[in-house]
A and B are shown apart, each in its own frame.
Chain A
Amino acid sequence: MKKLAILLFLTAVFLMLPGCWSKKELTELGFVMGIAFDQGKDGKIDMLTQVYRPTSVQSTASALTRISSINIKTTDDSVMEAVRDITIHLGRKAQFSHMRIIVVGEKLARSVNIGQLLDLFYRDHEPRSSVSLAIAKGKAGKMLEKKPVIEQTTAQQLLRAEETAYSSSAKTLDTSLLKLVMQMKSAHPDSVVSYVYEDKKSNKMYSSAGLALLKNGKMKTLLPSGKVEGLLMLRNEYKSGVIEIPCADKKKEVENTEILAIHTRTKPVIKGDKISVSVKLQGDVAIGELKCSKLLTEKDEDEFIHRIEEKMKVQMKSTIRFLQANQMEVIGIGNSIYKMNPKKWEKIKQTWDAQFAEVPFDIQVKLRLVTNGTITGKPAVEAN
């Protein structure tokens, strides 16, 4: 009996004494929503951290006027030191698990290998690799300092803008830390990262459109938003978007179709030393706006689809020309060659950039018109 009593006492003591290593109340943590990196003076890194500020339930009057986030600026030699400096301003330990987005300023992205910059976020157990990544035009800090349009915090707003722009309008690609590292560690390490910039007309809004192209982790060029659609089609990552074609007779008017689904097969064809690429695209479209065409017979429909297919080919060709001019192969052809024939890839790896500029592309598009919408295949209101 005495042994049992001693055993119980020791158990209780050993459970209470050591303390709880990761026990932190929710009110002792500052939840980081977003981070922005910029180039500072003397080669230091400027870091802006956006932390969520909870609005108390009781104060209903001031809840509307209070902003939901706080921005903390720190500067230091490395990212980790800058992170530790947050606590001297904030007073609460930063928690990175719910981070929404990391924004890197363009200047910093052009001068530093972005993978090395973000090493802390890959290594630490708290940040998740599903955190979104973006490169900002100008100063990244200014992006996070803007007021959010509809979400609670700017970081959340940027994340949702990136995601939705990718899935609905195909103007950007939704990049995350994981996608970045997968691209950079693949056979051909040229990568793309989504791009954000201030809106030209009003400086309160920002746009998430266009892609930054990285070589060796440093930003080299910017792919404008008009050419992103072509790239997504080539990479087989096109979710949904709009294809615009001019009217057959009146060149000023345009008609639109919405892409419902697209599947692309991009395959390199290697004949000895000559490499060419065959692109086969299959998809479903629906009509968005009709202004001048009348689709009354099957022949009309076939013609209409043919025009859309041509437009898509034109878009893809324009993107390919841009990429070839800049010697950035981000379509994934190098990776495909590596998968098909690793030895061949070893041989052409060094000169691939130059070789890519000469590669011919053979594009074939096959579309299917699924629906006209809720009214028939002619314009709702006839033009006179």
Chain B
Amino acid sequence: MARNELRLLKSGDPYMMNPPKTPISERLAENLRDLESIFSLSTDIVYKHWNYGPELKYTACSIYYGSLVQEDTENYMKISLQDLVTHVIGPGTDLTPQDVRTFFEHDGVSGKKAVVLNDLHHAVEEISEGRLIILFDQWDKALSFKAQSVESRQVTDPVNESVVQGPRESTVENLQKNIGLLRLRLKTPKFKIESITAGGDTKTTVAYGYIEDKVDGELLAEFKKRIEQIKDLEIMETSYIEQLIEDSTYSPFPQHRYTERTDMAVAAMIDGKIAVMVQGTGSILLCPGLFTEFFQSSEDYYQRTVISTLIRWIRILAFLIALTLPSIYIALSTFHPELIPTVLLLAILNAREGIPFPAFFEALIMEFFFELMREAGVRLPRPVGSAVSIVGALVIGDAAISAGIASPIMVIVVALTGIASFSIPQYNIAISLRILRFLLMLSAAMLGGFGMMICFLFILLHLCQLRTLGQPYLSSMAPFRLADMRDVIVRIPLKSLLRTPRKLHKQKPVK
């Protein structure tokens, strides 16, 4: 067996733990009967019968799912027999099952790698994974070839995380391809990828990678402990894993990051994170995700220091604006008009005169409209996309103002909030802001600036006690470690950033 296949089977494969024992019989007809009863009512299973040997009297059969082995160009039967003879094979007229048995059981050098199987149920599992099984009459073992080829997406530009400068390589749905893309960037044997198979029906392969001497030992142990507990669940996507292993389910703040860029995953692993990938999906989950890391994007490191620092400040400001701008407007205009500069106040008065709703309801209605537009925009079919967006902009913006339902100030506030929330690189924290924004608006409408302060205190309390994989969520800021602040508010030059490693924990790394 090939080495990496050995590895895949070793770590927690349920089959190797408790294999049910149904040996393959020496008679082909019996095997075929068993297989037919297992695979009944599936029209995409293919049984190909072959005859070989002198007078073509020995039989064999290849069994596979036609839908999984789409490229039907290789004749595996021929390839396997080709190894046994020294001449062009033809009908294989001088081969016998004994030759087959001796050659394959003793691991002869073969053209196409075949795995020898002892057990019928194991053979059934291999067929379900897309491999091709060849059963020989008068031999109680089966040969299994890797033949799976289903059309899958090419490696293209990342859809959600494009940069101006930098690699444009994104992950695809095939796990082996993704692992390959990561290994191309981390050419060290210290980059370990362990995997488990999860679920009874989906048997999804979940792989997680880390760099041995950079990841924290306790972190890895905690992660492994959590992953062990989800092995019997059907995992469809990486986000399932996030939701199953996260520390706080009801917190609005996400505790792990996602990316579909390979360079970002590699940079995170060098930083000591664990990258989790799932067969069938392209998102990579980076655990743990600290609050300060949600403001980092790969473009920060591909541009120079001064501009990266300034753009990071813009992002932090955008976060604050997206969270608080509507509530500041409500609090100032209903409770603290003395805090607004006089000339601005007169302009706001002009804008708000004649509006039938109080400021809070106006803000609520406009924010709600904006959320509706956002949801509709996600599901828009392309032909009607532009028409609906024009209608949305005109209706909500212009007509509402002319009709006197909303004031121009409110439209500006809502638009600024929306734009600011899109400036944050990670999508999952931007959507958490949507929840908190409404909470803040409610507290501002009830108790003004005081209410906002109370709400902020609660949010801060919540953030301080939040943990991600055991680490404190606000790690670089609270507990405050100056050595780790080098990438939070300012992005210090790469000359220092790359040479000094992160001193996050006092614990020793995995040896």
Contacts and interface: CB of A to CB of B under 8 A. Distances in A.
A23 B334 contact: yes
Interface stretch (B67-75, B139-147, B349-357): B349-357
A128 B342 CA distance: 13
A97 B358 CA distance: 21
Interface in A56-70: 56-58
A23 B345 contact: no
Interface string A43-87: 000000000101111100000000000000000000000000000
Given A26-B352, A57-B401, A31 B335 contact: no
B307 to A, nearest CB: 39
Contacts of B335: 20, 22-23
B337 interface: yes
Nearest to B331: A23
B359 interface: yes
A183 interface: no
Contact of B354 (A23, A56, A98, A152): A56
B167 interface: no
A248 to B, nearest CB: 49
B453 interface: no
A20 B443 CA distance: 11
Contacts of B217: none
A145 to B, nearest CB: 20
B446 A15 contact: yes
B359 A56 contact: no
A52 B337 contact: no
A57 B350 contact: yes
A47 B402 CA distance: 39
Given A16-B446, A20-B447, A58 B352 contact: no
A29 B353 contact: no
A26 B349 contact: yes
Contacts, number: 67
B418 interface: no
A25 interface: yes
Given A26-B359, A54-B353, A152 B346 contact: yes
B446 A20 contact: yes
Specify which of B338, B351, B446 lies most central, judged by the most chain A CB atoms within 10 Å of its CB: B338
Contact of A54 (B349, B404, B408): B349
B448 A56 contact: no
A58 B402 contact: yes
A255 to B, nearest CB: 40
A295 to B, nearest CB: 44
A148 B213 CA distance: 76
Contacts of B447: 15, 20
Interface string A1-39: 000000000000001100010111111010100000000
B35 interface: no
A26 B355 CA distance: 11
B426 interface: no
A97 B354 contact: no
Nearest to B333: A26
A236 B13 CA distance: 90
A98 B342 contact: yes
A324 interface: no
Contacts of B337: 26, 29, 31, 95, 97-98
Contacts of B338: 95, 97-98, 126, 128
Contacts of A126: 338
Contacts of B446: 15-16, 20
Given A97-B337, A97-B338, A126-B338, A25 B353 contact: no
B396 interface: no
Nearest to B356: A27
Interface in B407-461: 407-408, 446-448
Nearest to A23: B334
A23 B336 CA distance: 8
Interface size class of A (residues with CB under 8 A): 20 to 34
B455 to A, nearest CB: 11
A26 B348 contact: yes
Interface string A89-111: 00000010110100000000000
A25 B448 CA distance: 12
Nearest to A152: B346
B353 A22 contact: no
B351 A25 contact: no
Contacts of B407: 57
A25 B404 CA distance: 16
Contact of B352 (A27, A31, A100): A27
Nearest to A97: B338
A27 B404 contact: no
A25 B358 contact: yes
B359 A55 contact: no
Contacts of B408: 57
Contacts of B402: 58
B345 A31 contact: yes
A57 B401 CA distance: 9
A27 B345 contact: no
B96 to A, nearest CB: 74
Contacts of B359: 25-26
Contacts of A57: 350-351, 353, 401, 407-408
A20 B446 CA distance: 6
A27 B355 contact: yes
B304 to A, nearest CB: 43
Contacts of B354: 27, 56, 58
Interface string B99-112: 00000000000000
Interface string B288-316: 00000000000000000000000000000
Contacts of A97: 337-338
B407 to A, nearest CB: 8
B349 A58 contact: no
A31 B352 CA distance: 14
Interface in B338-373: 338, 342, 345-346, 348-355, 358-359
Contact of B353 (A23, A24, A55, A100): A55
Interface in B479-503: none
Contact of A24 (B334, B350, B352): B334
Specify which of B335, B407, B408 lies most central, judged by the most chain A CB atoms within 10 Å of its CB: B335
A68 B345 CA distance: 14
Contacts of A100: 342
Contact of A52 (B333, B349, B358): B349
Contacts of B404: 58
Nearest to B350: A54
Contacts of B345: 31, 98
Contacts of A26: 333-334, 337, 348-349, 352, 359
11 contacts: A20-B447, A22-B448, A25-B333, A25-B334, A26-B333, A27-B355, A52-B346, A54-B352, A58-B404, A95-B338, A98-B338
Interface of A: 15-16, 20, 22-27, 29, 31, 52, 54-58, 95, 97-98, 100, 126, 128, 152
Given A20-B446, A23-B334, A24-B334, 14 more contacts: A16-B446, A26-B334, A26-B337, A26-B359, A31-B345, A52-B346, A54-B350, A56-B350, A57-B353, A58-B404, A95-B338, A98-B338, A100-B342, A152-B346
Interface of B: 333-335, 337-338, 342, 345-346, 348-355, 358-359, 401-402, 404, 407-408, 446-448
The list of the 6 closest CB pairs from A to B, nearest first, reads A97-B338, A54-B349, A54-B353, A98-B342, A56-B353, A54-B350
